[in-house]
Amino acid sequence: MAGFATLSQAWMAWDGPAPAPEDAVLDHTKELEKFLAEVERRAFRIAQVSLRDEDDALDVVQDAMLKLARNYSAKPSAEWRPLFYRILENGIRDLQRRRVVRKRVMAWMPGPKEDPDEEAVDPMENVPAGGADAPALLMQDQAMRQLEISLRALPARQREAFMLRNFEGLDVAQTAKAMACSEGSVKTHYSRAVHTLREQLGEVW
């Protein structure tokens, strides 16, 4: 058996790279925590806009965090953002697929039809609390609701492009990675989304 100059070389020959020193692991964990803390709230709102359900959005974000940590945390941190949003968008699409299939299966079932996703929304649920800024907050809240309604009416890819570019602030290349498409497609989807949203919201905004 050939001799190894260092323990690290011996480890690599046996089973991949040597374990990182403790300090490096700690730094890496801190970096990952910082990244997740930075994106988690915006990711939740993006999921919520698409799924129209708070708990589903929380589940999808949690799943995306776990998958990123489990499968991609060893990647350079500069790659985490598009990867995270790619996982998130896949999760959102999976959930939407499940809803579609469930709806179809429910339509097959005997008896009265109920759609768990069509729960009545309490119009007072998200009204901001009173105070000096209450009217301004209310107007802000209404404007955001209008935007959400218009976003949900967009084709899924246009909605994704708009939210990743505008809400999350990804550049075209990062958005293309997150959406698994070309940069040209991102530009097209985004431009169409903005055009449609402007047409719908221009008057009332």
Based on the shown chain and the rule CB under 8 A, indicate whether residue 86 belongs to the binding site for other proteins: yes
Part of the chain binding other proteins (CB under 8 A), chosen from 3-11, 103-111, 170-178: 103-111
The least distance separating other proteins from the CB of residue 169, rounded to whole angstroms, comes to 8
CB of 8 to other proteins, least distance (A): 18
Q: Quick one: which of 8, 9, 77, 140 contacts other proteins (CB under 8 A)?
A: 140
CB 53 within 8 A of CB 117: yes
Question: Closest approach of Cβ 203 to other proteins, in Å?
Answer: 12
Torsion, Cα 102 91 149 174, to 10 degrees, reads: -160
Dist CA 100 CA 121 (whole Å): 20
How far is residue 200 from each of residues 72, 94, 164, 187, 204, measured CA to CA in Å? 39, 28, 20, 20, 8
Binding mask 118-137 for other proteins (x = CB under 8 A): ----------x---------
Q: What is 100-137 written as a DSSP string?
A: HHHHHHHHHSSS----GGGPPPPTTTTPPPPSTTHHHH
CA dist., res. 34 & res. 25, Å (int): 14
Whole-number CA gyration radius for the chain: 22
- Nearest approach in angstroms of CB 197 to other proteins is 7
Query: Hey, what amino acid is at 180?
Result: A
What residues from 4 to 33 belong to the interface with other proteins (CB under 8 A)?
25, 28-29, 32-33
User: Which residue's CB is nearer to other proteins, number 10 or number 167?
Assistant: 167
The residue ranges that bind other proteins (CB under 8 A) are 25, 28-29, 32-33, 36-37, 40-42, 44-45, 54, 58, 61-62, 65-66, 68-70, 73, 86-87, 90, 93-94, 96-98, 100-102, 104-114, 116, 128, 140-141, 143-144, 147, 156, 166-167, 169, 180, 194, 197-198, 201-202, 205
